[in-house]
């Protein structure tokens, strides 16, 4: 799904784009022979955060969302680890540009865009596939704790000695693909 980031539009435009695309998929599922009962949201980096936001928020409305795969995307903008990196350059950081200001200027938007607060009993099974860079793990443990409180399946796969863009390149592409396929087969197939 195509979505707009800060150079084109501010938060929450990208999330609205994904929600609208999902609605279009539901409306056109028959024409494209899509299984309306079993959707998965997958994204990488910023796309992982956006896909997760859409998956978690839409899961309350549409029970067809069976899984969320987060490839090296943060799930909180307000944990100490996230703020250390995402707010480092204030208004000029990627997050600062997306929200239209630093955490100090628009903290409500930084909090609103953090997925952790939306996890509930309808949230989908979640797989985190992460690089070696801890900054992209921001909020992951808290997110999993909340999933655990609702007995929702989650898994972490760390791709050792990998750059942030590991999912695009060997020797990391194959183990990433295998981990995703395994997780989906265990948590989505036939459900």
Provide the residue-wise pLDDT of the chain in tens; the chain has 191 residues.
889 988 899 999 999 999 899 989 989 999 999 988 788 999 999 999 999 988 888 877 776 789 999 999 999 999 999 999 999 998 899 999 999 999 999 999 999 999 989 999 999 999 999 999 999 999 999 999 999 999 999 999 999 999 999 999 999 999 999 999 999 999 986 54
Q: Residue 180 has which token pair?
A: 């995703």
What is this structure's pTM? 0.93
Which residues does 102 contact at the CB level (< 8 Å), separation at least 6?
A: 87, 90, 91, 93, 96
The alpha carbons of the chain give a radius of gyration, in whole angstroms, of 16
pLDDT of residue 133: 94
Q: pLDDT at position 159, please?
A: 95
CA dihedral 29, 30, 35, 36 (to 10 degrees): 60
Token couple for 56: 């978690």
Classified by CATH at the fold level, domain 13-76+114-185 comes out as: Rossmann fold (3.40.50)
User: Two tokens at 103?
Assistant: 């955490």
How much is the pLDDT for 114?
94
What's the pLDDT score for residue 190? 53
Q: What is the pLDDT of residue 57?
A: 84
In the chain, where the domains are located = 13-76+114-185
Backbone angles phi, psi at 26, to 5 degrees: -60, -45
């Amino acid at each position: 799904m195509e979505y707009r980031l800060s150079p084109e539009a501010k938060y929450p435009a990208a999330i609205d784009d994904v929600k609208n695309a999902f609605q279009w998929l539901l409306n056109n599922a028959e024409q494209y022979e899509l299984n309306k009962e079993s959707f998965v949201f997958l994204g990488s980096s910023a796309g992982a955060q956006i896909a997760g936001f859409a998956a978690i928020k839409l899961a309350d409305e549409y029970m067809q969302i069976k899984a969320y795969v987060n490839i090296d995307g943060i799930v909180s903008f307000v944990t100490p680890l996230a703020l250390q990196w995402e707010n480092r350059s204030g208004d000029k950081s990627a997050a600062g540009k997306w929200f239209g200001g630093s955490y100090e200027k628009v903290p409500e938007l930084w909090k609103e865009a953090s997925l952790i607060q939306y996890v509930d009993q309808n949230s989908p099974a979640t797989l985190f596939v992460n690089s070696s860079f801890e900054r992209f793990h921001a909020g992951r443990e808290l997110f999993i704790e909340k999933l655990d409180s609702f007995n929702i399946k989650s898994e972490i796969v760390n791709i050792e000695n990998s750059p942030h863009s590991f999912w695009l390149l060997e020797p990391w592409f194959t183990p990433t693909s295998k981990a995703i396929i395994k997780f989906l087969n265990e948590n989505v197939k036939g459900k």
